[in-house]
């Protein structure tokens, strides 16, 4: 009987540890998976900033929720890679917050179609 209780406790503990995300939330502990993902994201942001020719200060200002240290690590790694392979920065053409809504995209497509109809030559009359 004692062995059954122990094996049941081990199985219960193993099942709890298999799904740690809810356990971290329940105990209000920081989840290492989320922290690792956020660090990876910050490094990717830093690399993207360097590739687009942004300064570190601009990158920090545009991404205040991410670790400055990890942004710098990504920026520095990309800087070394770009220098080693003689890659030139590619400036960003998008302005933050200027993404089109679906309604804007539909309006732009309709305007382009209307402009094509106006620009198209009229069919020649054949007699």
Torsion of CA 41, 42, 45, 51, to 10 degrees: -120
Q: Does residue 45 contact residue 73 with C-beta atoms inside 8 Å? A: no
Q: For 18-68, how does the pLDDT look when each residue is reduced to its tens digit (9 = 90+)?
A: 556 666 565 666 666 766 788 889 999 999 999 999 999 999 999 999 999
118 close to 79: Cβ distance less than 8 angstroms: no
**Is-above-0.85 flag for pTM?**
no
pLDDT tens digits, one per residue of 21-30: 666 565 666 6
Give the highest mean pLDDT range of 76-80, 97-101, 109-113.
76-80
CB 50 within 8 A of CB 75: yes
């Amino acid at each position: 009987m004692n062995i059954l209780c122990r094996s049941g406790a081990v199985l219960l503990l193993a099942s709890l540890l298999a799904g740690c995300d809810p356990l971290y939330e329940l105990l209000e502990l920081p989840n290492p998976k989320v922290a690792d993902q956020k660090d990876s994201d910050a490094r990717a942001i830093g690399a993207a900033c360097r590739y687009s020719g942004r300064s570190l200060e601009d990158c920090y200002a545009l991404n205040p929720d991410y670790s400055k240290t990890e942004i710098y690590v990504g920026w520095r790694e990309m800087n070394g890679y770009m220098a080693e392979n003689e890659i030139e920065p590619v400036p960003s053409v998008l302005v933050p917050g200027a993404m089109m809504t679906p309604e804007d995209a539909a309006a732009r497509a309709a305007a382009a179609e209307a402009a094509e109809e106006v620009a198209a030559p009229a069919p020649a009359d054949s007699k």
